[in-house]
Structure 1
Amino acid sequence: MRFRRRLTLFAVTVAAAPLALGACTSDRRPGQQHAETRAKPEVTVTPAEGSRDVPISGEIGTDVKHGRVTAVRITDDKGATVEAEPREDGTGWVPSKPLAPKRTYTAEVTVTGDSGDTVTRKTTFTTQPKSSKPAISSVLYFAGNRTYGTAMPVTVAFDPPIPKEARADVQRRLFVKTDPPQPGTWSWVSDGSQVYYRAPDFWRPGTTISVRSALEGLPIGKEHVGDTDKRATSKIGRQVQLEIDNATKRMSVFQDGKLLRKLPVSLGKPSTPTSSGKMVIMEKHDFTTFDTRGSADPYVVDVEDAQRLTWRGEFIHGAPWSEGDQGYTNVSHGCTNLSAANADWLMGVTQVGDLVTVKGTEVPLDEGNGWTAWNVSWEQFAKGSALPVPAGLQPTPTQAPDPGAVAGGSPEPAPSASGG
């Protein structure tokens, strides 16, 4: 879902009238102009006139026949203008920030019909008092003014998870706009703890992505409401992908489709194997501490040049203690060990949002253990949407993009402190 334009509005609901199809006379004389009549516009607007206890997440809905909305004006009870952004599908306008509780809003909507006639409807409604229901905490893993890799999924995490029956309502309040346009869809992790947004192919370098998670005051099921309204705009940088092969104990580093280097690695030993699958770099740390006290294999170790791949503590990092094993034997606690020099070099190449593919290890990557949006085909990803996928994005089974392919080409929870 994306906003293509912004309108300045005042609280609204609208109604309109149906059109009659044009008809032509069968007995017209030669040369007589074709006679035609057109139906007048018809519109239905929500909230209905006089509605009370409207959630502060309320928006102006319009159902138009035989015309289009040409003006929307929304004001509060003090006469101040309320800005709103139109939904891409034309079904309504979403205020640019949550409405205030216990306030009255008025909306005027003008519809211009195919006949040229116009209809204006006015509606007035009142929002509910501040909700006393507990809020579901949400985290938007897409910060503003950053540069991300081409596999960066827009990720929203929830605590507690969103029940299946409430996911469509939540998804309708999550908005993504890309410039240049590269449409995608949202897909839910099966337990409702995370939802991802991506396109069928990787983002094109240079793309600007603007995100809004407009959940404040949104009723979620019967017991909860959404917590906050968040926005962020960032860009996509160069195309970088890493491929790690357990059979060769090597990491291949690609940039813009070209192989830069092959680096020896040591992966997880048999008792703590590394996950195989398509992951995304989630965090980068020049220095951090792995502390697994309380686990079956407790240890505390300081590491440099660490890049997180999963919530459960799999990282790529410098491991000078295992340099003799790198390229030959797996000795880690599940992480990808590099020499200090190679880990330092890699930190200068990668970005949060770069794709990392690991293959040939003993265990597969679990759904939701990290940002796993690319660990499934587009066909399977689209099935995870709680709303219909736009016709132009209906999936067809395709081969997964090659790790060395240029992005956009053709074909082309609380984190664990563990590491190893």
Structure 2
Amino acid sequence: MSRGAKGGRWAAYGAAAGLLLAGCTSGAEGTGTAGATGSGTSGSTDGQTSSTTSAPARPARLKLSPADGARDVMPDQPVTVQAMTGQLDGVTVRTAGGSAVEGRVTGSQWKSTGRLAPGSRYSVTTRSTGPDGVERTSRSTFRTHEPAVTATYGMVYDGQTVGVAMPVSLQFDSAVTSARYRRAIEKAVTVTTSPRTQGSWGWLDDRQLMWRPKSFWKPGTTVTLDAPLTGFQTGEDKWVGSDVSGTMTIGREQLTTVDIAKHRLRVTRGGETVRSFPVSSGKPGPQTETRSGMKVVIGKQAEMTMDSETIGIHKGEPGYYKIDTDWNVRVTWTGEFLHSAPWSVGAQGSSNVSHGCVNLAPAAARWMYESSIPGDPVDFTGSSREFQPTEGIGVWQYDYAGWQEQSALR
């Protein structure tokens, strides 16, 4: 806070070859299929009904894909119903649970516009009027491919009030493995903002799709995400099984700057300094020097145990530590926090002695904890070690043109 199809794709298309289907009952409420075999292969028939004038029935001839009874239909295969004779009056495609598949009519053909859920049973109900002027109803069913893996994903910070640097973030449980899959996903998702805001999608890595504004958000902006990704492929025999939507609200503007070399943290709101604290940052060294760059508050935790094993420094190795800390504000996934450090108060404001975190006096750390929210920007300067975008919410490590280049559509 989250597999391309195997060779069965062509077999599925073969099983789904167009079926000529004739409604064979003589009323709007009648049901039936003509020419459908148990295997879902194509066929047609000219069903007849008797009348006082012995006129032959002339139902509409419909071509369906997938065919009735088809199995292993790929989720990205469209559903089509074509009137070969007569008139197509309506098509309804539903899952066993009752969810409808959207579609549109062009001429004499209905075609689905949404993708199908993997591993699901679908029913197709058609209404048509034959050349004899009689309206008939016909039904068929098919089943979609059951993937080896159903991909999951979600909107991070859905429903929350966040700081002005927080991007809209879709987090997948596993990699979206090809540029083709990433392009398709990016085309399908939308962000709506009020007021209208310029921004761009980009992939921070192959699991994180983010939309960031050109510059920091305007406080009070409402942001809505729509990700209708059911039936999209993310890897070998790995398909998405559900849609996601969400919202977030942009809160007050708060910008924190940390001058690592001068050992000083400053907080501004609306361009005015509201607090300033002495700090001690990471001591010199390839594993301990605090990174410079524009970071974003990821989250916070009042109490926690910091264990260097989580960043690869094991017990018995130089630099190992395991300490309990209070008022922790996380700014990277690599172990950098702003937190209370009463043991280093004597060094705060004059030297850097930490393992990479920003040490504050207890009262200052508590103030930072209580005044910070996820999405607040924290700008670090004064060290030679550069913050890498994937080490946190790194969208602001790019200028806007650079971020646009992270789009899969470029």
Shorter chain as denominator, the TM-score bin is: 0.5 to 0.7
Give the match for residue 76 of structure 1. 94
Q: CA deviation at 1:304?
A: 1.1
- Which amino acid counterpart does residue 174 of structure 1 have in structure 2? V
Give the match for residue 381 of structure 2. 359
CA distance, structure 1, for counterparts of residue 140 and residue 183 of structure 2: 24
CA distance, structure 2, for counterparts of residue 74 and residue 257 of structure 1: 57
CA distance, structure 2, for counterparts of residue 354 and residue 85 of structure 1: 42
1:226 maps to 2:240: yes
CA distance, structure 2, for counterparts of residue 257 and residue 352 of structure 1: 20
Contact preservation (8 Å) 2:256, 2:268 = yes
- Which amino acid counterpart does residue 149 of structure 1 have in structure 2? G
- Which amino acid counterpart does residue 279 of structure 2 have in structure 1? V
1:188 maps to 2:188: no
Counterparts of 1:69-218 in structure 2, within 5 Å, are 75-76=93-94, 82=100, 101-105=120-124, 128-144=143-159, 146-163=160-177, 164-189=179-204, 191-218=205-232
Structure 1 unaligned regions, length at least 5: 1-47, 62-71, 87-91, 109-123, 389-420
Give the match for residue 301 of structure 2. 285
- Cα separation, partners in 2 of 1:81 and 1:134, compared to 1, 3 Å: closer
CA distance, structure 2, for counterparts of residue 257 and residue 179 of structure 1: 23
Q: 2:327 aligns with which of 294, 302, 305?
A: 305
Q: Once superposed, what is the RMSD of the aligned Cα atoms?
A: 3.4
Q: Structure 1 vs Structure 2: percent identity of aligned residues?
A: 31
CA distance, structure 2, for counterparts of residue 348 and residue 142 of structure 1: 18
1:321 maps to 2:343: yes
Contact preservation (8 Å) 1:54, 1:126 = no
- Cα separation, partners in 2 of 1:186 and 1:76, compared to 1, 3 Å: same
Q: Highest CA radius of gyration, 1 or 2?
A: 2
Q: CA deviation at 1:371?
A: 0.7
- Cα separation, partners in 2 of 1:104 and 1:85, compared to 1, 3 Å: closer
Higher helix share: 2
Which moves more between the two structures, 220-229 or 345-354?
220-229
Contact preservation (8 Å) 1:194, 1:368 = no
- Cα separation, partners in 2 of 1:257 and 1:387, compared to 1, 3 Å: same
- Cα separation, partners in 2 of 1:100 and 1:227, compared to 1, 3 Å: closer
CA distance, structure 2, for counterparts of residue 243 and residue 107 of structure 1: 63
The DSSP-based 3-state class of the residue aligned with 1:210 is strand
Contact preservation (8 Å) 2:96, 2:121 = no
Give the match for residue 396 of structure 2. 374
TM-score scaled by length of structure 1: 0.65
Give the match for residue 276 of structure 1. 292
- Which amino acid counterpart does residue 189 of structure 2 have in structure 1? L
TM-score scaled by length of structure 2: 0.66
CA distance, structure 2, for counterparts of residue 350 and residue 327 of structure 1: 21
Contact preservation (8 Å) 2:201, 2:407 = yes
Number of aligned residue pairs: give it.
309
CA distance, structure 1, for counterparts of residue 252 and residue 382 of structure 2: 27
Contact preservation (8 Å) 2:175, 2:235 = no
Q: CA deviation at 1:99?
A: 8.3
- Which amino acid counterpart does residue 348 of structure 1 have in structure 2? E
Give the match for residue 246 of structure 1. 260
- Cα separation, partners in 2 of 1:315 and 1:50, compared to 1, 3 Å: same
- Which amino acid counterpart does residue 82 of structure 1 have in structure 2? A
CA distance, structure 2, for counterparts of residue 107 and residue 180 of structure 1: 43
CA distance, structure 2, for counterparts of residue 261 and residue 324 of structure 1: 20
Q: CA deviation at 1:126?
A: 6.8
CA distance, structure 1, for counterparts of residue 329 and residue 196 of structure 2: 30
1:169-227 deviations in Å (ceiling 9; x for gaps): 222333322122224221112x4132211111211111111223433442224432235
1:228-252 deviations in Å (ceiling 9; x for gaps): 4333222110001111112211111
1:247-300 deviations in Å (ceiling 9; x for gaps): 211111011221112211111011211111111100111112112245343222
CA distance, structure 2, for counterparts of residue 125 and residue 370 of structure 1: 50
Counterparts of 1:4-83 in structure 2, within 5 Å, are 50-51=65-66, 56=75, 75-76=93-94, 82=100
CA distance, structure 2, for counterparts of residue 224 and residue 79 of structure 1: 22
- Which amino acid counterpart does residue 269 of structure 2 have in structure 1? Q
Q: CA deviation at 1:102?
A: 2.2
CA distance, structure 2, for counterparts of residue 260 and residue 125 of structure 1: 68
The DSSP-based 3-state class of the residue aligned with 2:327 is strand
